């Protein structure tokens, strides 16, 4: 099962919404995933243990895991493209 | 958890000039009602500097300032509709400034909680037609009427 780390400023608010949107989308595509949330500042320490990192805020750090910006899942602008990009890492 | 959209927490026609003024105004209103602790105000200001919350939205740009959950007494939101756009920095690209005209301040008590409430807020953000109508309505009851179906959950 692929594991996705979803990060926002404090790991509580926007990451909760984005994680649920990713889970919902993956379920529809019949892909089994696990999401976990954290603070943006925890990403450099944790990110490498996951298959994908999705962030709502600006992330300037370095991780080996691919990082996708997930803000469009909140605003709806460019949502489809973001979901497709996320999916490409989860197959 | 149900969120009761208390009428006193929607403010329209706010004539404010900076994001700091907006953040202080809304957090003060939450504070007055004891929905958040006194430290919440400072935390909101600090957090906005480090992790800005402006969202480039399809209709009206919206900001969703929030702070640490341990400073919240009761899950609540304070919505401010601004008379004119006020500059907030973008969540996605902190260098970018956005003219924001609707601010939804979130006070969330439980970590990873309030998913339903957050999703409702997201539904509002994504509804271009709704947010345009809200900022162009000059009476509070009209704004409440528009928001109610999105935010208010009937008690069981």
Contact between A74 and B55 using a beta-carbon 8 Å cutoff: yes
Between CA B130 and CA B136 the distance in angstroms is 10
Q: Is the pLDDT of residue B121 over 70?
A: yes
Contact between B115 and A17 using a beta-carbon 8 Å cutoff: yes
Instruction: Quickly state the pLDDT bin for B5 (edges 50, 70, 90).
Output: low
Nearest-by-Cβ selection for B91 from A17, A71, A76: A71
| pLDDT confidence of residue B7 | 45
Between CA B140 and CA B146 the distance in angstroms is 10
Instruction: Quickly state the pLDDT bin for B8 (edges 50, 70, 90).
Output: low
Interface test with B, best of A5, A7, A8, A10 (most B CBs within 10 A): A10
Ranking A60-64, B23-27, B149-153 by mean pLDDT, the lowest is: B149-153
Q: Give the minimum alpha-carbon distance from B29 to chain A in angstroms, rounded to a whole number.
A: 21
Residues on A contacting B at a C-beta cutoff of 8 Å: 8-14, 16-17, 20, 37, 40, 56-58, 69, 71, 74-77
The pLDDT tens digits for A5-37 are: 999 988 888 999 999 999 999 999 999 999 999
Query: What percentage of chain A reaches a pLDDT higher than 70?
Result: 100
| pLDDT confidence of residue B3 | 55
Mean pLDDT of B26-52: 96
CA closest to B96 among chain A residues: A58
CA B117 to chain centre: 12
The pLDDT tens digits for B87-120 are: 999 999 999 999 999 999 999 887 766 677 788 8
Q: Is the pLDDT of residue B155 over 80?
A: no
Contact between A75 and B56 using a beta-carbon 8 Å cutoff: yes
Q: Is the pLDDT of residue B43 over 90?
A: yes
Q: Is the pLDDT of residue B153 over 60?
A: no
Between CA B45 and CA B58 the distance in angstroms is 26
Contact between B92 and A76 using a beta-carbon 8 Å cutoff: no
Please tell me the pTM assigned to this model: 0.90
Mean pLDDT of B139-154: 81
Domains of chain B as residue ranges with CATH = 8-150 (3.40.930.10)
Q: Give the minimum alpha-carbon distance from A41 to chain B in angstroms, rounded to a whole number.
A: 11
- Cβ-based neighbours of B23, under 8 Å, separated by 6 or more: B41, B44, B45, B48, B65, B105
| pLDDT confidence of residue A19 | 95
Interchain contact B93–A (C-beta under 8 A): yes
Nearest-by-Cβ selection for B126 from A11, A69, A76: A76
Reported ipTM: the value is 0.86
**What share of residues in chain A are helix, strand, coil (percent, to 5)?**
45, 25, 30
Arithmetic mean of pLDDT over chain B? 88
CA closest to B107 among chain A residues: A13
Do B108 and B75 form a contact (C-beta atoms < 8 A)?
A: yes
The closest of B52, B76, B64 to B1, measured between CA atoms, is: B76
Instruction: Quickly state the pLDDT bin for B156 (edges 50, 70, 90).
Output: very low
What is the set of active-site residues of A? 8
Domains of chain A as residue ranges with CATH = 2-90 (3.40.50.2300)
């Amino acid at each position: 099962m692929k594991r996705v780390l979803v990060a926002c400023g404090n790991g509580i608010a926007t990451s909760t919404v984005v994680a649920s949107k990713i889970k919902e989308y993956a379920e529809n595509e019949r892909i089994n995933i696990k999401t976990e949330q954290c603070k943006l500042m925890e990403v450099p320490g944790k990110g490498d243990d996951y298959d994908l990192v999705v962030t709502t805020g600006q992330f300037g750090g370095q991780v080996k895991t691919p990082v996708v910006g997930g803000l469009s899942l909140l605003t709806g602008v460019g949502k489809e493209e973001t979901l497709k990009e996320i999916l490409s890492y989860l197959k | 958890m149900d969120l009761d959209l208390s009428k006193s927490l929607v403010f329209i026609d706010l004539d404010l000039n900076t994001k700091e003024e907006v953040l202080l105004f809304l957090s003060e209103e939450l504070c007055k009602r004891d929905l958040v602790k006194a430290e919440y105000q400072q935390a909101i200001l600090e957090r906005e500097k480090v992790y800005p919350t402006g969202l480039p939205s399809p209709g009206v740009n919206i900001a969703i300032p929030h702070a640490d959950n341990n400073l919240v007494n009761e899950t609540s939101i304070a919505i401010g509709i601004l008379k004119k756009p006020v500059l907030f920095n973008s969540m996605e690209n902190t260098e970018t400034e956005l003219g924001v005209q609707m601010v939804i301040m979130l006070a969330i008590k439980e970590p990873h909680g309030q998913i339903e409430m957050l999703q409702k807020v997201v539904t509002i953000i994504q509804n271009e037609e709704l947010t345009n109508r809200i900022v162009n309505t000059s009476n509070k009851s009209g704004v409440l009427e528009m928001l109610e179906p999105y935010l208010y959950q009937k008690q069981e």
